A = this chain, B = another copy of it.
Amino acid sequence: MGSRLEVTYLVEAAASEIEARARALAVEQSVEMPVSAITERIVLDEIVGRVEAIAPAGEGRFAVTIGLADATIGADAGQLLSMLFGNSSLHDDVMLHDVTFPPATAAAFGGPRHGIAGFRARLGVGRRALTATALKPQGLPSAALADLAARFAEGGIDVIKDDHGIADQPVAPFAERVPRIAAAVHEARQKTGGTTLYVPNLSGDLDRMRTQVACARAAGVRAVMVAPMVAGFANVHTLVAENPDVLVLTHPSFGGASRIAPPLLFGKLFRLIGADAIVYPNFGGRFGWSPATCRALADAARAPWHGLAASLPVPAGGMTRERVPELLAFYGADVMLLIGGALLEARDDLVAATAQFVGAVHRHADVRP
Residues of A within 8 A of B (CB): 24, 28, 30-34, 36-40, 42-43, 46-48, 69, 71-72, 74, 76, 78-79, 81-83, 85-87, 89-93, 96, 134, 136-140, 144, 163-165, 167-171, 203-208, 227, 230-235, 237-238, 252-260, 281, 286-289, 317, 340-342, 344-347
State whether B91 touches A287 (Cβ < 8 A): yes
State whether B341 touches A46 (Cβ < 8 A): no
State whether A168 touches B76 (Cβ < 8 A): yes
- Chain B nearest CB from A29 CB (Å) reads 8
**Which chain B residues lie closer than 8 Å to A232 at the CB level?**
205-206, 230-232, 234-235
| A47 and B137 in contact, given A90-B287, A254-B82, A254-B89 (Cβ under 8 angstroms) | yes
Besides A79-B167, A91-B288, 12 more A-B contacts (Cβ < 8 Å) are A33-B136, A37-B347, A46-B139, A87-B164, A89-B254, A91-B256, A93-B288, A205-B232, A205-B237, A206-B207, A231-B232, A232-B234
**Which chain B residues lie closer than 8 Å to A164 at the CB level?**
82, 86-87
Specify the chain B residue showing the minimal Cβ separation from A259.
B257
State whether B204 touches A252 (Cβ < 8 A): no
What 6 pairs across the A-B complex have the smallest Cβ distances? A232-B232, A90-B256, A47-B139, A31-B137, A89-B257, A86-B253
The answer, among B31, B168, B317, for a CB contact under 8 Å with A138, is B31
- Chain B nearest CB from A50 CB (Å) reads 13
State whether A252 touches B90 (Cβ < 8 A): yes
State whether B252 touches A78 (Cβ < 8 A): no
Q: A340 to B87: give the CA distance in the assembly, Å.
A: 14
Specify the chain B residue showing the minimal Cβ separation from A31.
B137
The answer, among B82, B92, B140, B208, for a CB contact under 8 Å with A234, is B208
